[in-house]
Structure 1
Amino acid sequence: MFSTPGTRSRRTRGILATAAATAALLALSACGSSSGVETLDESADVTITMWTGQEDSAQKYLEALADEFEQEHPNVKIDLSPGASSTEDLLQKLSAGFAGNNYPDISYAFGSWAGQLEASNRTLDITDQVADPAVKWDEFSPAARDTARPSGNKTIGFPAVVDNISLLYNKKLFDAAGVAYPTDEWTWDDFRAAAKQVSDPGQNIYGYAYSVSGSEETTWQFWPKFWQNGGEILNGDQTEATFNSKAGVDALAMLQGMAIDDKSVYLDQTDTKFGQLFASDRIGMITSGPWQLYDLGVAGTEYGVTQLPGTDGDHKTVSGADIWALFDHKDANKAHWAFEFTNWLTQAEQDEQWNVAYGNLPLRASEIDSPAFQEQAAKLPGLTVMAANAVNAEIARPTLPGYVGLSEAVGQAISEVLQGKGEPDAALDAAVEKANKALAED
């Protein structure tokens, strides 16, 4: 569930979906679903049920848009509700709904759930519809598109919210250390050198911060470095983990050198304290996303934003894309209008009235130059850079159910190495063994 500005948090927590919900969803793959109208009648009265996973102002934005759609299509009723007490609870609610044939036509879903939802055999496949040039599917980032197509065989919905991580730097600390600000051309060598120069552990000032909680925060911060080195998380058929390749070992060794040798990294056990310390001029650089900007403005932090440091000109980032999942009730009218509403909702004009108005990144590249986005960007310096950084969100994190266990294995390995409890090659080899067991259990 998204909170109001000032307490907004990253959207990676959907990775913590319960094993019970996952098992229940997969068990439904052979079950049938309710049947409705077989022949489409676009003028027939129809009610579309939508679980938004939102509250407060975000919910109000969506309610206003649903009212607008209903006015344009008087025969269509959009029955809008949060769906559950929190966004995290939606997966369990969907699982129960599938079991009782009482599930919505549209639901917000964390991107990490996409594979589980497709495996339930309850989703619509809108691959043919999104091929229509009028949908402008290519305006979504590659990672967002791939998240909505988890197995590569079906398109189960539309991107709902997108973000990515960029490099944020504290101007006050850089100025005090006499270090030039980061640029879009920075390499990881540039980054490491600057982090060491800005650091002053005796004064509790660090050049960089990294999560060692072992959570998905630990893992997803690692993936850009891994991808920039040419690494692939899984093999071609997604049955085995391959992150212990040279790309993975080198990326983790670089972080190890910063944390252990340079002592330039604040190791955060909480996933949240590093943002507060950056805002209070104790950390020189963090890699974070748009959710951080409001708090920095409130704190009065002097900061800048640029794309991530890269390798050989590669500046890949990671995106936490979430989706509007569409569900099949074997009813031609429901299927038609569920698609039509989500397609309309995610077009630029409507997205400016929700994601942009709320302070999220725009869904589509075409919105960056819009007056609505430029107005928000003026309030949240760096937002334009983060929006442009979407072009570097080329790869989606795996969405298959086994990613939960894989992420935990990687996060634990990174945490141990950065705290001096292991070496990159051995830690990642052990993590691959754990990850492969999780993948085999799917």
Structure 2
Amino acid sequence: MAVDRRNSPRVPPRPSRRGVLRRGSGLALAAAASATAAGCAGGASDGVGADGRVTVELWHGQTDTGRAAIEALVKDFNRTHPTIRVDPGGGVLSDAMLQKITAALASGSFPDIAYIFGSDLASVARSPSVVDLSETVRSGPTAWSDYWAPAREAVTVNGQVRAAPALLDSLAVVCDKKIFREAGLPLPRAGWTWQEFTDTAARLTDRKRGVFGTGWPGVGDEDTVWRLWPMVWDLGGDVVAPDGRSIGFAKTGVRALETVEALARAKSVYVDPKPGSEQMYQVFLSGRMGMVVTGPWQLPDIRDAGIDYHVVPLPSYSRKPITISGPDTWTVFDNGPARVRAARTFVTWLAQPAQDVRWDIQAGSLPLSRPTQALPAWRAQDEKTEGLAVFTRALETARVRPVHPAYPQISQALGQAIAAVLLGRSSPADALRRCARTADAALLIPR
């Protein structure tokens, strides 16, 4: 897994998924939660001006078109809600938001709303300064059940809704039709398998011409990891075992890593050595990669590069559809009753179809809800963007990473395992064994 990346024209891709994890986030947020045990910002203004207007501080983390989109929406909100003023000027880029929020919670001076990656929410929500939005979203104008399941699941921690959905995506495979034609191969169709994917990647590879069958991020970060979870889930595994004391992919993870190993052994995979996958995408955009696993955020760049492309759902072992979604969130913090009420009003307004569709088209999200998907504006966007419908349909079978405070440590351990296999430094079994030792230890730490 969005928005400084994703599905709008000229939005540079952010490293994810979906959402990128910052290492050490669990420990950092533990300190922050301890420092904010009082439950609200020390000495924070109630935000109510002499005219009775409440000011809400928003850290949106967006750049380029994402920034323009949120600022336009804020302007409209302020115009139509004369008793509230949302100030979108604070914060940092979304990739640095976790560290910024961690420091803000520790100091007791934090915003009213921040754009938090879904993979970071469990750690952030340990702070008592994070507002429970369960009643807010469930009593909103759009029925909670009308939001896509990944959007609902990504903001729910221990049965409580701890944030509002902000952005939604999914993974699929984008194919370069020209490279397929030159290799004499038919384009893949829905229901294909990972064996067919690896075989196709090998046949698309042409070392003399510098053409790779596919690519995979190789630095061991969350961008490396989240592509593996659909494989684990399809094999019957999970991120955390039902008892919560160990990983749930000790066996299925080996099988998934064997698929990664097959790509590496065939030398059909470009292993991107830098964070963000930018080099991997540049290889694809230059016409030297047959297939890339990516999200809808990459489509504008692919069109701009003049690639004649085809989008197909992720392969699976079972031939059943499954993918991953990496939603991000608008997290609300407690700076007193007046500011909390105003922040709730803003995030509720932002998620409604009339606003959501503007954000989706301009800043690069899939629709948060089915009512948004049904709007004429989204249908028009869908019709004019080749392959976009594949990503939206994938939400029907998409799953999300667990909103679990130990997830950063699990991800880091698995990322190292995947990188070791991609680079030929370890067998799948040995890499997974080392991963399990580290991840299981993280799960046993009291939280």
TM-score between the two structures when normalised by the length of structure 2: 0.88
Q: How does 1:180-195 map to 2 (within 5 A)?
A: 180-195=186-201
8 A contact 1:10–1:289 mirrored in 2: no
Deviates more, 1:20-29 or 1:267-276: 20-29
Q: How does 1:390-401 map to 2 (within 5 A)?
A: 390-393=395-398, 395-401=399-405
Residue 126 (structure 2) pairs with residue 119 (structure 1): yes
8 A contact 1:106–1:338 mirrored in 2: yes
Q: How far 1:378 moved relative to its partner?
A: 5.3
Q: How many Å separate the matches in 1 of 2:112 and 2:130?
A: 9
TM-score between the two structures when normalised by the length of structure 1: 0.89
Report what 1:160 is aligned to.
Answer: 166
Q: How far 1:400 moved relative to its partner?
A: 3.0
Residue 196 (structure 2) pairs with residue 196 (structure 1): no
Q: How many Å separate the matches in 2 of 1:420 and 1:96?
A: 39
| Aligned amino acid, residue 352 of structure 2 | Q
8 A contact 2:66–2:364 mirrored in 1: no
Report what 2:414 is aligned to.
Answer: 410
**Aligned pair partner of 2:268 in 244, 264, 268:** 264
Report what 2:182 is aligned to.
Answer: 176
Do the aligned partners of residues 80 and 203 (structure 1) sit closer, same or farther apart at CA in structure 2, a change above 3 Å counting? closer
Report what 2:29 is aligned to.
Answer: 22
Q: How far 1:237 moved relative to its partner?
A: 4.9
Report what 1:283 is aligned to.
Answer: 289
Q: How does 1:284-303 map to 2 (within 5 A)?
A: 284-303=290-309
Report what 1:325 is aligned to.
Answer: 331
8 A contact 2:32–2:127 mirrored in 1: yes
Q: How many Å separate the matches in 1 of 2:83 and 2:91?
A: 27
8 A contact 2:20–2:223 mirrored in 1: no
Residue 91 (structure 2) pairs with residue 89 (structure 1): no
Q: How many Å separate the matches in 1 of 2:271 and 2:41?
A: 51
Q: How many Å separate the matches in 1 of 2:439 and 2:4?
A: 30
Q: How many Å separate the matches in 2 of 1:73 and 1:280?
A: 47
Report what 1:53 is aligned to.
Answer: 61
Where do 5+ consecutive residues of structure 2 fail to align? Answer: none
Q: How many Å separate the matches in 2 of 1:17 and 1:425?
A: 24
Q: How many Å separate the matches in 2 of 1:255 and 1:8?
A: 23
Q: How many Å separate the matches in 1 of 2:359 and 2:346?
A: 14
| Aligned amino acid, residue 416 of structure 2 | Q
Do the aligned partners of residues 57 and 251 (structure 1) sit closer, same or farther apart at CA in structure 2, a change above 3 Å counting? closer
Report what 1:427 is aligned to.
Answer: 431
Do the aligned partners of residues 438 and 157 (structure 1) sit closer, same or farther apart at CA in structure 2, a change above 3 Å counting? same
Do the aligned partners of residues 92 and 205 (structure 1) sit closer, same or farther apart at CA in structure 2, a change above 3 Å counting? closer
Q: How many Å separate the matches in 2 of 1:291 and 1:430?
A: 34
Q: How does 1:143-158 map to 2 (within 5 A)?
A: 143-149=150-156, 151-158=157-164
Q: How many Å separate the matches in 1 of 2:98 and 2:271?
A: 32
Residue 354 (structure 2) pairs with residue 349 (structure 1): yes
8 A contact 1:17–1:91 mirrored in 2: no
Q: How far 1:284 moved relative to its partner?
A: 1.1
Q: How many Å separate the matches in 2 of 1:100 and 1:203?
A: 55
Report what 2:441 is aligned to.
Answer: 437
Deviates more, 1:230-239 or 1:153-162: 230-239
8 A contact 1:29–1:119 mirrored in 2: no
**Aligned pair partner of 2:78 in 65, 70, 79:** 70
8 A contact 1:242–1:432 mirrored in 2: no
| Aligned amino acid, residue 259 of structure 2 | M
Do the aligned partners of residues 391 and 28 (structure 1) sit closer, same or farther apart at CA in structure 2, a change above 3 Å counting? farther
Q: 3-state DSSP class of the match of 1:119?
A: coil
Q: How far 1:320 moved relative to its partner?
A: 1.8
Q: 3-state DSSP class of the match of 1:50?
A: strand
Q: How many Å separate the matches in 2 of 1:263 and 1:88?
A: 32
8 A contact 1:171–1:302 mirrored in 2: yes
Q: How many Å separate the matches in 1 of 2:279 and 2:367?
A: 27
**Aligned pair partner of 1:140 in 126, 143, 147:** 147
Residue 344 (structure 2) pairs with residue 339 (structure 1): yes
8 A contact 1:209–1:274 mirrored in 2: yes
Q: 3-state DSSP class of the match of 1:79?
A: strand
Q: How does 1:380-391 map to 2 (within 5 A)?
A: 380-391=385-396
Q: 3-state DSSP class of the match of 2:20?
A: helix
Do the aligned partners of residues 93 and 282 (structure 1) sit closer, same or farther apart at CA in structure 2, a change above 3 Å counting? closer
Report what 2:312 is aligned to.
Answer: 306
Q: 3-state DSSP class of the match of 2:76?
A: helix
8 A contact 1:21–1:91 mirrored in 2: no
Q: How far 1:62 moved relative to its partner?
A: 2.1
Q: How far 1:125 moved relative to its partner?
A: 1.0
| Aligned amino acid, residue 55 of structure 1 | T
Where do 5+ consecutive residues of structure 1 fail to align? Answer: none
Q: How many Å separate the matches in 2 of 1:63 and 1:279?
A: 30
| Aligned amino acid, residue 63 of structure 1 | E
Q: Deviations over 1:276-328 (max 9, x none)?
A: 22222221111001222122112111111111112324322122211000122
Q: 3-state DSSP class of the match of 2:335?
A: coil
Q: How far 1:369 moved relative to its partner?
A: 4.2
Q: 3-state DSSP class of the match of 1:22?
A: helix
Q: Deviations over 1:75-127 (max 9, x none)?
A: 2222222x323223322332333334322221111112201121011111121
| Aligned amino acid, residue 325 of structure 2 | S
Q: How far 1:133 moved relative to its partner?
A: 6.8
Residue 111 (structure 2) pairs with residue 104 (structure 1): yes
Q: How many Å separate the matches in 1 of 2:388 and 2:319?
A: 22
8 A contact 2:45–2:335 mirrored in 1: no
Aligned length: 432
Q: How far 1:379 moved relative to its partner?
A: 5.4
| Aligned amino acid, residue 280 of structure 1 | S
| Aligned amino acid, residue 361 of structure 1 | L
Structural RMSD (CA): 2.6
Q: How many Å separate the matches in 1 of 2:82 and 2:23?
A: 38
8 A contact 1:135–1:343 mirrored in 2: no
Q: How many Å separate the matches in 2 of 1:75 and 1:29?
A: 29
Do the aligned partners of residues 93 and 280 (structure 1) sit closer, same or farther apart at CA in structure 2, a change above 3 Å counting? closer
